[in-house]
Structure 1
């Protein structure tokens, strides 16, 4: 199966996921990520604002803020670029993909300022390579990123597929 077919199958499955089961798994995944060494040693966490059918990142954001971490979320830019800016709920606008993102008044962070990036994805293989939504934003950003990377997915999102030459593996993938 090619990446586009995998992508479409997983989006369909995610959208039909039982909400009560999803909530339980999201809590377990939150426990996994917040118990990790990568989380405990980070001061600056970059994460994403999720689609309703993805792992719910809002509890992670709230926990990181309570834990005294600086939280960053992505903003997409022209030419397939992405930057991370400070998370402030009052300064979020709908971005080009229908997801909330920081407005352009928010100061962006340099990659070297970020300790840990929580990376989204639809599927992950055993080596930590991912299938995302097809825009390549994270692969381009992570190509030169020197910090740690983690992801959270449901167990059925762990698949066997061949990565492409431009793909960048995530260091640690938590699944439930």
Structure 2
């Protein structure tokens, strides 16, 4: 392999490092302001208004923060689920009852307490998906572990919505056959129907 022709995995690795650095550069104030705009844009989606069961995610530092959105969804009477990582890079949707009761997981992550209710990927009406970047064709760049790609294989295409910051929508992302496409992108500045949608 020559340096002028890097593999797809090498190109993804370089892009991950670049996007992580951009995300980490956000100040707490900017993250809070962007989160408020992102929340309003998600709440305006017809997919949200018609949904009974929603899968969201609990943000890591710098990631698009959905905490305010999740609180509103719970107030609106929606069933909210979040990803729970399982062995062998599998994932399930565990029901979130409120935003107060968590167990501390590795790296300070918030985990659901034991005994949570699980629903199937097929039964979800809207799946909000994190990522480091997404292209307008709906190709998503995740952290590289493949949890979401395995899970999304069982989620109907039209229910997959990426939720991230506007600067994370980029023109081109190298893709591999197992990469699951996204139908819609919602950011703090816009809502984009992907070109594959």
TM-score by length of 2: 0.83
Residue 172 of structure 1: how far off its partner (Å): 0.7
Of 17-26 and 43-52, the range deviating more from structure 2: 17-26
Q: What is the aligned counterpart of 1:169 among 171, 181, 185?
A: 181
Q: Structure 1 residues 158, 102: closer, same or farther in 2, change over 3 A?
A: same
Residue matched to 2:143: 133
How far apart, CA to CA, are the structure 1 residues paired with 2:101 and 2:176? 36
How many Å separate the matches in 2 of 1:94 and 1:167?
30
Unaligned runs of 5+ in 1: none
Secondary structure in 1 matching 2:83: strand
Please name the residue that 2:34 is paired with: 25
Separation in 2, partners of 1:78, 1:154:
30
Higher mean C-alpha deviation, range 15-24 or range 113-122:
15-24
Cα deviation, 1:96-147, whole Å, max 9, x if unaligned, reads: 5642122342121112321111001010011111111111011100012126
Gaps of 5+ in 2: 1-9, 190-197
- What's the CA shift for 1:18? 2.5
| 2:131 corresponds to which of 112, 121, 127 | 121
The count of corresponding residues between Structure 1 and Structure 2 is: 176
User: Does the residue aligned with 2:73 lie in a helix, a strand or coil?
Assistant: helix
Task: Report the structure number with the largest CA radius of gyration.
Answer: 2
Report the equivalent of 1:46: 55
- Is 1:144 matched up with 2:154? yes
